[in-house]
A and B are shown apart, each in its own frame.
Chain A
Amino acid sequence: KNEVEQSPQNLTAQEGEFITINCSYSVGISALHWLQQHPGGGIVSLFMLSSGKKKHGRLIATINIQEKHSSLHITASHPRDSAVYICAVRRGSEKLVFGKGTKLTVNP
């Protein structure tokens, strides 16, 4: 079993829909990151969380440390949100452990 599990693996939505991507991890962590990887390959860091909730524009990330679970929400989704979203956890060392990613496709 991977230390970091994401669901779903693939997600197709219509423009305007509310989207949720989930991340569960099996060990204690010091922080959790959400990353976005564009079709061209580049990676952008979206959020770093150690507790609670963060919001940036239409993106919201939450984490529940007790349940070892995080969610990434996208409100009013748009085709430009189409990308792979990757959850990664840091376990006290410098090492990040990554989930396999969720491929999101938003159709117009």
Chain B
Amino acid sequence: DSGVTQTPKHLITATGQRVTLRCSPRSGDLSVYWYQQSLDQGLQFLIQYYNGEERAKGNILERFSAQQFPDLHSELNLSSLELGDSALYFCASSVMAGDYGYTFGSGTRLTVV
């Protein structure tokens, strides 16, 4: 157990639907990162939050949004789902913003049918 908890582990949903992925960072970590891993694109950075505020944005679609709550857990919302959104979604946390190393969760496998 890495200390980063992601739920659910697996999710199957239909095109056009909306889902929410949840991440609880390791105790003491203030920064949360979301990544998408698809077969054709590999791992891609989506977005980062630090202590409740958005810190950096990567290749995140407008249909996707995220937030970090006062208790530091984060949620990634994916809407108007398309087949191409099927992927592994990873959350990682670190102590601070900046390069302090990362602890990854086990991922949520999203399948859009």
Are A41 and B43 in touch, CB under 8 angstroms?
Answer: no
A44 within 8 A of B: yes
The 0/1 profile, CB within 8 Å of B marked 1, for residues 57-92 of chain A is: 000000000000000000000000000001010100
A48 at the interface (CB under 8 A from B): yes
Q: Which of B64-72, B74-82, B96-104 faces chain A?
A: B96-104
Query: Cβ of B12 < 8 Å from any Cβ of A?
Result: no
Which of A41, A45, A48, A86 is close to B109, meaning CB atoms less than 8 Å apart? Answer: A41
**Contacts A95-B56, A98-B43, A98-B44 given; does A90 touch B99 at CB 8 Å:** yes
Q: Interface code A93-108, partner B: CB below 8 Å = 1, 0 otherwise?
A: 1111111110000000
Query: Chain B, 52-71, contact with A by CB distance < 8 Å: what is the 0/1 string?
Result: 00011010000000000000
Contacts of B109 in A (CB 8 A): 41
Residue A42 is within 8 A (CB to CB) of chain B in the complex: yes
Residue from A33, A95, A98, A99 in contact with B102 in the complex, judged by beta carbons closer than 8 Å: A33
Q: Can you list 20 A-B contacts with CB-CB less than 8 angstroms, sorted by A residue number?
A: A30-B99, A35-B104, A41-B107, A42-B104, A43-B104, A45-B101, A45-B103, A48-B99, A86-B43, A90-B99, A94-B33, A94-B56, A94-B97, A95-B56, A96-B33, A96-B35, A97-B45, A98-B42, A99-B42, A101-B42
A interface residues (Cβ-Cβ under 8 A, vs B): 30-31, 33, 35, 40-45, 48, 50, 86, 88, 90, 93-101
